[in-house]
Amino acid sequence: MELCKLCPTCGTANNPVEMLCTRCFGDISGITPMAPPGAATTETVPAMRLLLADGRQIELRSGDTAGRAGAAGELFREFAAVSRSHARFEYANRSWQVTDLNSTNGTFLDGKRLAADSPALLTNSQEIRFGSGFRAVVRITLSP
């Protein structure tokens, strides 16, 4: 099975060696190659969402980078403490993980700051915070 890098900005499947998206020229250098959309897989990946207090939700796919220039960028622009590429979310080894991408104001799980570039396991109902302003609850479900 061939792998690709999915652009978090426009969703284009790119060659795994590309550093910039061939469609929108977004930075995909930190994206982990994965199976192309629609490829047959033997494992069902649980849906991953961040639920905000005001009812809004952010649905994330494995490999998505969250931040002002990443997945749900328009929503994150409301929060000045969120970096352009703040954190990456990945599904690996049957678990969802988040990695702080050396953000300026940090990524926090249940109040504890994550070390940069070190994946942390996510569990249902954890509080995730980017900097001092963005707060959400992790929701992992088998059905979308």
Query: Residues of the chain with pLDDT > 70: what percent?
Result: 93
Q: How confident is the model at residue 144 (pLDDT cuts 50, 70, 90)?
A: very low
Name the H helices within 15-133: 73-76
Q: Give the model confidence (pLDDT) of 93-134 as tens digits.
A: 889 999 999 999 999 999 999 999 999 999 999 999 999 989
Q: State pTM to two decimals.
A: 0.69
What mean pLDDT is predicted for residues 39-55? Answer: 82
Look at 34-43, 113-122, 133-142 and tell me which has the smallest mean pLDDT.
34-43
Residue 23 has a pLDDT of: 87
